[in-house]
Amino acid sequence: MAFTGLIIFELYNVLNFRSFRFPLYRIGIFSNPALILAILGSLALQAVVVYVPVFNAFLGTAPLALADWGFLALLGLPVLLAGEGYKAIAIRVQKGRAPGI
């Protein structure tokens, strides 16, 4: 479960790093189709690692229940929210500065 959690955290993080200046709602979550495909591909490969017995033995993983995936998705959400919160604060600070500073 820890391995899958790290992957999910990083997938949330990649959404944060699309822009350091603009929040995700402004950029649009689906504005980069290649990134969405990469995220879906990563999740598919993670599912292979988790559910295919050969990979279970080789990598020491175990099948996860749907509730586990949901728990990890919720657990990783603060990663996305923290990044978006940082951008919101940075935008407010930037707007409060005088021109030329």
Question: Are the beta carbons of 79 and 13 closer than 8 angstroms?
Answer: yes
Question: Are the beta carbons of 73 and 5 closer than 8 angstroms?
Answer: no
Q: What are the tens digits of pLDDT across the range 50-97?
A: 999 999 989 889 999 999 999 999 999 998 999 899 888 888 888 776
pTM of the predicted protein model: 0.80
**Chain mean pLDDT for the chain:** 89
Q: Is residue 20 part of a domain?
A: yes
Q: What is the DSSP letter of 98?
A: P
Residues in CB range of 16: below 8 A, 6 or more apart:
24, 79, 80, 83, 84
Q: Is residue 67 part of a domain?
A: yes
Looking at residue 99, its pLDDT comes to 57
Looking at residue 12, its pLDDT comes to 92
Domain residue limits at 61: 2-96
CA angle 25, 31, 32 (to 5 degrees): 125
Stretch 30-55: mean pLDDT? 94
Q: Is residue 101 part of a domain?
A: no
| 76 class by beta-carbon count within 10 Å (0-12 exposed, 13-18 middle, 19+ buried) | buried
Looking at residue 101, its pLDDT comes to 54
